[in-house]
Amino acid sequence: MIFLWRTKKVFSKLRLDLSHFLQFVIEDLCQILIFIIFKVLQILRLQSVAEIYITRYSSTIFKVLQIFGLRSYMKIFADSRYSVTRSNQITAFEFNGIKKNVNKYSNSQSDNLAKPVIFVSACEDSKSTGGYKFNGGINEYNCLVKILRQHGYEAYIVTYDGNYEPWLIEHQPHISINNCRQKIKSLQNVRCVTSWAVAKAFINECEKLYFWDMELLFTDNDHFSTIANLYRIKIIKTASISRTIQAWHMANFRKPCVIIPNLLDESYWNPDEKKRIFNRVGYMNEGPHTEQHITLFKDAAKSAGLQLDFIQIKGETKEVISGMQSCNLFLSMNQGKDPLWGEGCPRTIIEAMSAGSVVLAYDIIGNREMIVHSFNGIIVPRYRSDIMAKEIIDLYQKPSEIERLRGNGLNIIHSCHTSEARWPAIKEFLDL
């Protein structure tokens, strides 16, 4: 039941802690055995032999344990029961029938020359279909599918009935859960991708899963036990949208995690100097505090003798791009969905920079992934609207500083945040 997620999370954490214990206790036993052998050799006055043993042959005992299967059995037991992955060290000596099942989704091209077909979805059921409007995750899915198709891969977004609410400039091909099921059954090489651990309708169709985490608010809370179980039975590769999320997965599940930051369709997101208005400052509605903060900014600007035009940017993607292109500054007043984790990595930061706006943002997890303070934007302490007001005034009193920040921001966008710049990480994540 959903209201028991905290209890389920505690039990999942305990299982993970036990799995870590099981994985490493055998390592400690090996070290103790090596120490005992060394001491015995010293007692027998075979000091030189002991030194040679330690420097050259200390790994032998590990190999012996691997040959007899003791070390492997312990690690595989932890892996199969408690959602963790074996060490990469266990390879050549696992010839006694204790290897894991080989994942058909990670076949090399020599085993299967056909390119994989990629399915991406957040579909839970007939009510939560996965075709949501004004949803950052769905925007990321569209960008991912477009990049994959540009590189010659067949890729689809999966919704319950194949439909979606139009709001992007360009929606990528969608198919229904039923069509997805038929395709998966007929294909030998597929990749199933989600960022939503409770996308049951989609996940149930997938034998294995590539999990692209975008939001720790859910992953570390009510989705935790589900994620832990998916690691045990389905997840074979993980990616994150930020380094914070990457570190979280590595710490909890002891698995590598690829970073795929926000994806951006640079064919639409670009600056237009003819539209830019010097005294225009853009913002989005980020919750109940938004209007209060804007009122403070207006009063502060007026007191400083500045006539600034604060405009709320909203609507479908085409309208948002045009609005951001017209702004000199953009205020990201997102204070985060979670007091601890903030946001995954707010898209508006990279979108505003790509449109040529200089970004001022509250210091929440995610924003620092994109902004280096006083280099390509301004980071303001969380909740400190008074400091943001001061930063706005300071920038307008130094127009050359605005241009410097804008130039640095665009240089970062054009060098680090293009589709081609993201492609190596996508290939690594999806084993392409």
Is the pLDDT confidence value at 50 over 60? no
When pLDDT is averaged across residues 355-369 and rounded to a whole number, the result is 92
Within 10 angstroms of residue 243's Cβ, the number of other Cβ atoms is 16
pLDDT band at 346 (very low <50, low <70, confident <90, very high): confident
303: Cβ–Cβ under 8 A, 6 or more apart, which residues?
none
Q: How far apart are alpha carbons 170 and 84 in whole angstroms? A: 39
Burial of 115 from C-beta contacts in 10 A (0-12 / 13-18 / 19+): middle
- What angle in degrees, to the nearest 10, is found between the helix axes of 347-354 and 399-416? 110
Are both 114-265+420-430 and 280-416 of the same fold? Answer: yes
Tokens, residue 197: 């651990």
Higher pLDDT: 113 or 406? It is: 406
Tokens, residue 244: 């914070």
Q: How far apart are alpha carbons 204 and 90 in whole angstroms? A: 31
Q: Could you state, in order of their start, the residue ranges of all structural domains in the chain?
A: 2-82, 114-265+420-430, 280-416
Q: How far apart are alpha carbons 396 and 205 in whole angstroms? A: 54
Is the pLDDT confidence value at 192 over 60? yes
Residue of 317, 318, 352, 328 lying closest to 275 (CA atoms): 328
Determine which of 82-91, 195-204, 251-260 has the lowest per-residue pLDDT on average. 82-91
Tokens, residue 177: 């859960």
CATH of 114-265+420-430, one of 3.30.200.20, 3.20.20.140, 3.30.1360.30, 3.40.50.2000: 3.40.50.2000
Higher pLDDT: 338 or 151? It is: 151
Is the pLDDT confidence value at 55 over 80? no
394: Cβ–Cβ under 8 A, 6 or more apart, which residues?
401
Determine which of 1-10, 51-60, 347-356, 374-383 has the lowest per-residue pLDDT on average. 51-60
pLDDT band at 53 (very low <50, low <70, confident <90, very high): low
Tokens, residue 377: 């934007």
Is the pLDDT confidence value at 93 over 70? no
Q: Is the dihedral of CA 195, 201, 202, 205 positive or negative?
A: positive
Higher pLDDT: 50 or 316? It is: 316
| pLDDT given at position 304 | 95
| pLDDT given at position 16 | 65
Determine which of 7-11, 104-108, 112-116 has the lowest per-residue pLDDT on average. 104-108
| pLDDT given at position 71 | 47
When pLDDT is averaged across residues 344-369 and rounded to a whole number, the result is 90
Mean pLDDT, rounded, of the chain: 83
User: Which three-class secondary structure string do you get for the chain?
Assistant: CHHHHHHHHHHHHHHHHHHHHHHHHHHHHHHHHHHHHHHHHHHCCCHHHHHHHHHHCCCHHHHHHHHHCHHHHHHHHHHHHHCCCCCCCCCCCCCCCCCCCCCHHHCCCCCCCCCCEEEEECCCCCCCCCCCCCCHHHHHHHHHHHHHHHCCCCEEEEECECCCCCCCCCCCCEEEHHHHHHHHHHCCCEEEEECCCCCHHHHCCCCCEEEEECCHHHHCCCCHHHHHHHHHHCEEEEEECCHHHHHHHHHHHCCCCEECCCCCCCCCCCCCCCCCCCCEEEECCCCCHHHHHHHHHHHHHHHCCCCCEEEECCCCHHHHHHHHHCCCEEEECCCCCECCCECCCCHHHHHHHHCCCEEEEECCCCHHHCCCECCCEEEECCCCHHHHHHHHHHHHCCHHHHHHHHHHHHHHHHHHCCHHHHHHHHHHHHCC
Residue type, 19: S
Percentage above 70 pLDDT, the chain: 75
When pLDDT is averaged across residues 268-288 and rounded to a whole number, the result is 95
Higher pLDDT: 368 or 321? It is: 321
pLDDT digits (tens, 9 = 90+) for 149-173: 999 999 999 999 999 999 999 999 9
- The answer for 130, left when phi > 0, alpha when psi is -120 to 50, beta otherwise, is left
| pLDDT given at position 169 | 95
pLDDT band at 45 (very low <50, low <70, confident <90, very high): low
Q: How much is the CA Rg of the chain, to the nearest whole Å?
A: 26
Tokens, residue 118: 């990629």
| pLDDT given at position 100 | 38
| pLDDT given at position 103 | 43
Q: Is the dihedral of CA 56, 58, 62, 67 positive or negative?
A: positive
Cβ(379)–Cβ(403) under 8 Å?
no
| pLDDT given at position 311 | 97
| pLDDT given at position 340 | 76
Higher pLDDT: 91 or 46? It is: 46
Cβ(191)–Cβ(105) under 8 Å?
yes
CATH 3.40.50.2000 holds for 280-416: yes
Is the pLDDT confidence value at 224 over 60? yes
Q: Are strands 155-159 and 174-176 parallel, antiparallel or unpaired?
A: parallel
